[in-house]
């Protein structure tokens, strides 16, 4: 029997080959942290030099027709204690951060919206060392915030003009983008010399609900379920999928990437057509009823090869996510395995209930109050919920402590004195 060899003695060629298979900058940083020989064999991954980026934005305000804004990258990380997979009693959690113009500096973002955390939790660390934790990227997004007169970004007034904004996957070398603004689908190019964005409307007739990047394409879906796939490099439309179900009814829709596949999560309002209506002016689903009285039903569709030369892909409904759970909201969506979480069975959807209330609008109340020192208002008012695909039940996430602990509040094992960040 051959003697065991140390991981540090792997051939340099093999180490380099493995490193090229890693998907994210975070994975490469963790890989380099294993030992000196691995660190010497794999160069430090470059940090994006393109973001944040400042730009001018025309708005429909005669008092100030041009405003200044900034595009930043947001990332959802899963942070786990060392030995997380080997020891089920060890914990992990999700945090969402926004990159700043300072190297390796981040701002904590509300996990259920794009608002920055106003009151930092007492135990949240100033620095997170990749050597002390297992850090995994779950999903990336982009936030757009107004700039004040002094050049600082407004902590709360973000995405005031667009529902969703996505840069091309290779945004380090390209400023191509797709956005949904007031329901309309637009493409954009950022001029880095003049810091302007040049917009072109793609579809003004139908309101769109979500966009994402997958397999080198932008994917867009409208309220009727028509899905478009567009090549990121040339803005060439090469996939068109008609409504997944032949019915003229608006539904809320979210794209989710999981295990190398693209899914579409649909909140179907056909079960309550008299309670929920889509307001085209406000670009929001509205209800006269109390939130708890609105029935909930989700469907999940998966993009798979069709075997048809006319349409290489199709969408099929799936009823079981296995040990995976999906998190969906307007701002970001991602998938994670519950296999290593005690008390979490998977096959569920954690969602932010974004149905607006007509009475609230009459009183000019904010749909999302600022978080306070005790936690997030969305959890207290039951707007973050868990849907079980098996029995089609829905309940506030606060009733599921094992799931809730993944998102908020930050766990006690995160300490202030963890050393320097390698983000």
pLDDT in tens, the chain (423 residues): 455 666 666 777 777 777 777 766 667 777 777 777 777 777 776 665 566 677 766 665 667 666 777 777 888 888 887 655 545 555 788 888 887 766 667 788 888 877 777 776 666 777 776 667 778 888 888 877 777 766 555 544 445 567 788 877 766 556 788 888 778 888 877 765 656 667 778 887 888 999 999 988 899 998 888 898 988 877 788 888 887 776 667 789 999 999 989 999 999 888 887 888 888 877 888 887 766 678 889 999 999 988 776 678 889 999 999 989 999 998 889 999 888 777 778 899 999 888 875 555 444 444 344 444 444 666 666 788 899 999 999 888 888 888 888 888 777 776 644 443 444
**Rounded Cα gap, residues 306 and 314, in angstroms:** 5
**Rounded Cα gap, residues 142 and 48, in angstroms:** 13
**Residue from 309, 214, 294 nearest 256 by CA:** 214
**Rounded Cα gap, residues 38 and 8, in angstroms:** 7
**Residue from 299, 294, 296 nearest 321 by CA:** 299
**What is the 3-class SS of the chain, one letter each residue?**
CCCCCCHHHCCHHHHHHHHHCCCCHHHHHHHHCCCHHHHHHCCCCCCCCCCCEEEEEECCCCCCCEEEEEEEEEEEEEEECCCCCCCCCCCEEEEEEEECCCCCCEEEECCCCCCECCCCCCCCCCCCCCCCCEEEEEEEEEEEEEECCCCCEEEEEECCCCCEEEECCCCCCCCEEEEEECCEEEEEEEECCCCEEEEEEEECCCCEEEEEEECCEEEEEECCCCEEEEECCCCCEEEEECCCCCCCCCCEEEEEEECCEEEEEEECHHHCCCCEEEECCCCEEEECCCHHHCCCCEEEEEEEECCCCCCCEEEEEECCCCCEEEEECCCCCEEEECCCCCCCCCCEEEEECCCEEHHHHHCCCCCCCCCECCECHHHHCCCEEEEECCCCEEEEHHHCHHHHHHHCCCCCCCCCCCCCCCC
- Sheet architecture: strand order including 313-318: 252-258, 261-267, 298-305, 313-318
The pTM of this model reads 0.80
């Amino acid at each position: 029997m051959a003697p065991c060899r140390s991981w540090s003695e792997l051939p340099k060629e093999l180490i380099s080959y493995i490193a090229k298979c890693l998907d994210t900058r975070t994975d490469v940083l963790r890989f380099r942290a294993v030992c000196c020989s691995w660190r010497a064999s794999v160069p430090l991954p470059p940090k994006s030099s393109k973001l944040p980026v400042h730009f001018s934005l025309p708005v429909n305000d005669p008092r100030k027709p041009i405003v200044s804004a900034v595009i930043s990258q947001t990332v959802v990380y899963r942070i786990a204690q060392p030995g997380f997979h080997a020891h089920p009693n060890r914990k992990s959690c999700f945090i969402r951060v926004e990159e700043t113009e300072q190297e390796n500096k981040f701002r904590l973002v509300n996990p259920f919206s794009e608002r920055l955390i106003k009151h930092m939790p007492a135990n949240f660390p100033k620095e997170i060392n990749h050597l002390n934790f297992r850090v995994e990227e779950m999903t990336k997004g982009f936030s757009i915030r107004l700039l004040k007169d002094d050049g600082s970004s407004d902590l709360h007034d973000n995405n005031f003009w667009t529902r969703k904004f996505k840069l091309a996957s290779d945004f380090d070398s390209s400023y191509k983008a797709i956005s949904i603004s007031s329901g309309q689908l637009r493409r954009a190019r950022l001029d880095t010399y003049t810091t302007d964005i040049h917009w072109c409307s793609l579809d003004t007739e139908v309101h769109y609900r979500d966009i994402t990047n997958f397999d080198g394409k932008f994917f867009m879906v409208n309220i009727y379920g028509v899905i478009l796939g567009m090549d990121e490099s040339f803005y060439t439309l090469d996939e068109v999928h008609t409504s997944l179900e032949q019915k003229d009814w608006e539904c809320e829709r979210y794209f989710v990437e999981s295990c190398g596949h693209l899914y579409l999560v649909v909140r179907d309002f056909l079960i309550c057509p008299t309670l929920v209506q889509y307001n085209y002016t406000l670009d929001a689903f509205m209800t006269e009823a109390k939130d708890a009285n609105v029935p909930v039903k989700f469907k999940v569709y998966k993009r798979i090869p069709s075997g048809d030369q006319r349409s290489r892909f199709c969408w099929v409904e799936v009823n079981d996510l296995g040990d995976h759970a999906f998190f969906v909201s307007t701002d970001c969506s991602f998938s994670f395995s519950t296999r290593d979480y005690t008390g979490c069975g998977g096959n569920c959807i954690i969602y932010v209930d974004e149905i607006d209330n007509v009475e609230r609008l009459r009183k000019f109340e904010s749909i999302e109050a600022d978080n306070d020192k005790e936690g997030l208002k969305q959890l207290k008012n039951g707007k973050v919920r868990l849907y079980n695909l098996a029995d089609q039940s829905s309940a506030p996430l606060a009733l599921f402590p094992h799931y809730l602990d993944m998102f908020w509040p930050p766990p006690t094992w995160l300490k202030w004195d963890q050393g320097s960040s390698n983000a």
